């Protein structure tokens, strides 16, 4: 009996001591655990967008192709992030260089809280783009770095931001003094279109090409001008044939000039003129109807009477 009581007391003592030791270990583990702040996705803010050059103000215009776009985003969350994969979701008037609706960029370095990452996208802008401010959505996938004592976690996250884009009407080339000769042409006739172009930019332009297009023309003529220095006008002229099935009308002609700037971005500008189609009326020859023989005899008799007796 005494032995059983002693055994029970020893078991109780062991249980209490074990519980106490386990509690101490838990407190020790908690004390050494990483001080993780609340786990929530990082947030970003677009602080800068710029065309063509990340550090200068350069404008983009309708019709520009192969245009670099730089987007700067700031990490305004409470953790460092890394492995930023950015997807710009395109809509009119923007396309990627192959005509698609998505363009991607990647930022390799880590971005600490409060710092900025700048990435580059290459876009095309439609020729009929509306001048003014546009907004695109950018999807950001990234790894959120969670660090503690002896432990580092990488949590995959995703968020979206709005990217403002400005399209202006600023042009680096001007087409002026356009003339069409002759002003009026018959269907199938030839016209000569001439004018001048001038480089209004601060740097040399290259691959300058002027062309004409119209539903009234049999072909689309063009003139390759090549390199153009600043403020030096260059003339252009080409002769083209009008279609032979045209009706009387005044038909517009679109003149376009394509060129590349010093950043190797392709631009296009355009202006309109017109040609007048006038069909010449056909000359008709009328043949008098045959006369009655009796009337012919009577007229001859009257001629004889007038000859001898006067009128």
Taking only the tens place, the pLDDT of each residue in 246-258 is 888 899 999 999 9
Q: What is the pLDDT of residue 25?
A: 47
Q: What is the pLDDT of residue 77?
A: 86
Q: What is the pLDDT of residue 311?
A: 56
CATH class of the domain at 173-277? mainly beta
CA 276 to chain centre: 34
DSSP E strand boundaries for the chain: 44-51, 67-75, 81-89, 94-95, 102-107, 116-125, 132-148, 151-167, 173-181, 184-185, 190-199, 205-213, 222-228, 234-241, 249-260, 266-277
Domain boundaries, the chain: 44-167, 173-277
Q: What is the pLDDT of residue 282?
A: 45
pTM confidence score:
0.68
Beta carbons of 120 and 147 less than 8 angstroms apart:
no
> Scanning the structure block, which residue is given the tokens 């252009």?
236
Homologous superfamily of the 44-167 domain (CATH): Immunoglobulins (2.60.40.10)
Q: What is the pLDDT of residue 262?
A: 86
DSSP code string of 47-102:
EEEEES-TTS---B-TT-BSEEEEEEEEE-SSS-EEEEEEEEE--TTEE-TTS-SE
Residue segments in the chain with a per-residue pLDDT below the cut of 50: 2, 4, 7, 11-12, 14-17, 20-36, 281-282
Count the alpha carbons within 13 Å of 80 in the hemisphere toward its beta carbon. 12
Domain 44-167 and domain 173-277 have a common topology:
yes
Beta carbons of 110 and 80 less than 8 angstroms apart:
yes
Express each pLDDT in 266-294 by its tens digit: 999 999 999 998 886 445 555 666 666 77
Q: What is the pLDDT of residue 236?
A: 95
Phi, psi of 259, deg, nearest 5: -165, 165
């Amino acid at each position: 009996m005494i032995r059983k009581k002693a055994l029970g007391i020893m078991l109780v003592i062991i249980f209490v001591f074990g519980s106490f030791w386990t509690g101490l270990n838990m407190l020790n583990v908690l004390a050494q655990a990483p001080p993780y702040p609340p786990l929530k996705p990082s947030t970003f803010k677009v602080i800068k967008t710029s065309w063509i050059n990340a550090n200068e103000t350069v404008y983009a215009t309708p019709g520009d192709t192969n245009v670099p776009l730089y987007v700067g985003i700031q990490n305004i969350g409470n953790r460092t992030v890394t492995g930023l994969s950015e997807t710009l979701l395109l809509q009119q008037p923007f396309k990627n260089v192959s005509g698609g609706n998505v363009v991607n960029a990647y930022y390799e370095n880590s971005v600490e809280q409060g710092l900025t990452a700048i990435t580059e996208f290459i876009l095309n802008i439609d020729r009929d783009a509306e001048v003014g401010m546009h907004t695109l959505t950018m999807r950001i996938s990234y790894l959120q770095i969670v660090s503690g004592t002896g432990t580092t976690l990488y949590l995959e996250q995703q968020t979206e931001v709005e990217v403002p884009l400005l399209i202006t009407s600023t042009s680096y080339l001007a087409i002026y003094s356009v003339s069409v000769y002759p002003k009026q042409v018959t269907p199938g006739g030839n016209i000569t279109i001439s004018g001048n172009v001038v480089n209004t930019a601060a740097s040399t332009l290259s691959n300058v090409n002027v062309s004409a297009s119209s539903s009234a023309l049999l072909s689309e003529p063009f003139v390759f001008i090549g390199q153009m220095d600043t403020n030096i006008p260059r003339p252009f002229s080409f002769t083209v044939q009008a279609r032979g099935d045209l009706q009387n009308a005044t038909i517009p002609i679109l003149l376009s000039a394509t060129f590349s700037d010093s950043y190797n971005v392709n631009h296009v500008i355009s202006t309109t003129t017109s040609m007048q189609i006038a069909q010449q009326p056909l000359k008709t020859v009328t043949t008098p109807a045959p006369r009655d023989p009796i009337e012919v005899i009577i007229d001859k008799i009257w001629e004889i009477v007038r000859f001898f007796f006067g009128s």
